[in-house]
Chains A and B, each alone.
Chain A
Amino acid sequence: MVIEKQDVVIVGAGAAGLMLAARLAEGGQSVTVLEAGPERKLNDLVSSQIWARKLKWSEPAVSESGDHKIGHAFNAGSGTGGSALHHYGVWLRMHEGDFSLNSNHGVGLDWPLDYAALAPHYDRVQSEVGLSGDSVQERWRPQGAPYPMPPLPLFTQSRLLAKGFEKTGRHTAPLPLAINSEPYQGRQSCQYDGWCDAGCPIGALGNPLVVWLPRALAAGAKLEHNARASRVIRSAKNTQLIESVEYLQDGERKTIQADRIIIAAFAVQSVRILLSSATQQHAAPGDHSDKLGRYLMTHPAATIFGLFAEETYPHQGVTAGQLLNHDDYDKKDAPGGFGSSQWMIGHAIKPHDLLGYGTNRPDITGAALEPWLKRASRHLGNMTLVCEDIALPDNRITLSEKVGPEGIAYAHAHHDLDATAAARWTQRMSEGADIMRAAGASEVWSGPRIGQHIMGGAVMGEDPAESVTDAFGRVHDTDNLYVAGPALFPSSGAVNPTFTISALASRQADHLLNQ
């Protein structure tokens, strides 16, 4: 069946793609979303860390290089909801200083917009999704509407760790979360079981299946699953116009035409699709100045663990954690390194899987293991450091030499961590160990430094010579091709990106509807 020409085709059914589908369809546009992965429903979200791996991007695998890899297999999702289906719901606003890194500090890139331009969209989206938090205690928060729900209750582990921050002269506040602390818009409240990574089937966590998908479908948007976009195709008559998306579905190569095309396929696949769209006659859309794929970013992050005499019940709560510390966030130039940093405190944690406490003590094996696990299951505390990455041009997404059986090129991601950002990470990790000991931990250790969240690759900017898209995500050398999602970010800040992804998409939606 050939789908008739649409007003809008969106590639990717994640946080940005499904929000845009909902808003544009509600605005009277005909919308089709192409999603590479399978249809996901709430009853697919089985409470198991092993089953949870089904939700992640698998093939075509992204090859990686560099001294601080992006961790695509853990960070990227597949299927309805994308990576937002298994995200942990930490919804933090970027701070004002995150938007002008180059102007203020001479490093990285500036955004072509400031916090004030996004603020009304942060406010609108937090009401639509439902955020819990305390905007008064969160003293570092930029100006904005109060959270619609009170914060989640504080569990034993977090109360204990908060003492470490207090004793070292630091402040904590409830972590703002897209998780219901009370029933909200027909969705029930959280049950604090820590299965967030496996996806929340009860609607307490505001994933795209429960927030945007129902609205998109009610407004007439269509979703095509197992529809893997291979490239976009320029009009032969007007090369500024992108007339269609080519995709593979059911073993067939198909195309769908639209007046406007939005690539919202998460950072790596969005760039892959654009790079694959180059022809002998024309460079890839957005690659007019060799910036497509560049400025790839991932937050350097790590978890610190401690064992306490007190019982902490670390299975309770939510995977994201319960408390936040941003005391150092706006001190990007502080001695010892460069960049913002944050602590997320008190994760609900499992004994196994990538983030599990058993996994992060490979030195303990054999007969000693189970007694240790039993002790950790009742006496563990943990918190995660997230530091800022700096956009560097040689950190980039390229097409790999490897081509899949369907003719789709694989992507390669190269990422090295800037030395000053690495120094900041080392500095804060040392401080974190001190905080953990101040809280009373008798034994303190940390997991490895990992890449958390993926951003950049199709950065927005005022100057087409230095960016891929304009301030509304329109690819510079086209009239009607847009990028949405974290690929647009010219800087990473040190906050989880989903709130900013959503606010940007909200702003894009308004722009597209007003054109």
Chain B
Amino acid sequence: MRWVPFLILVALTALLQRTAGLVLTFSIRGAGSVGPDLLAAVAVFVACRSRAWEDAVLAAWVLGLAVDVTAGGAGVAVGPMSVAYALAAWVLFRIREAFFHERAVTQALLALIFCLLAHGTWVTAETLLGGTGMAWADYGSTMLQAVLLAVYTAALTPLVHAGLWRCRRLVLAAPTVRGARR
């Protein structure tokens, strides 16, 4: 992993999520607002293509932290999303060999799994923590939102991956001689 370009990518994606995300967000009656999680799409890309599971988990943790600090209401704690992202990235890293992740359908499926894991965990954690943003009375509807978000993100993930594929060497390429002994 090249961490400096990766951090720039995270900042740009977070910025895009907070601004252009408005255009992509729409309302469904009975479910509430539904928008994509672009940072999750990046996390899936990294988890599918990083060499070591530590890289995938650390990158996902950084992305989750970016979601934590840029999203959510005032009462929502920072931390659960980074753990949820890291957990989901670890699961994705473990199962990625079972998928041919160059295909768009597979990328969408992996993104769906990732988002369901990460956002499901996050919604549950925030509800348990009892921040002002979440309550058990809204748990069902918030989970429905999370599922719709996962589907929406999954639909957009192949496009995000196509864009990231062009700059993969900037972010993912690792020096080949790292750790070599003299």
**A and B: partners?**
no
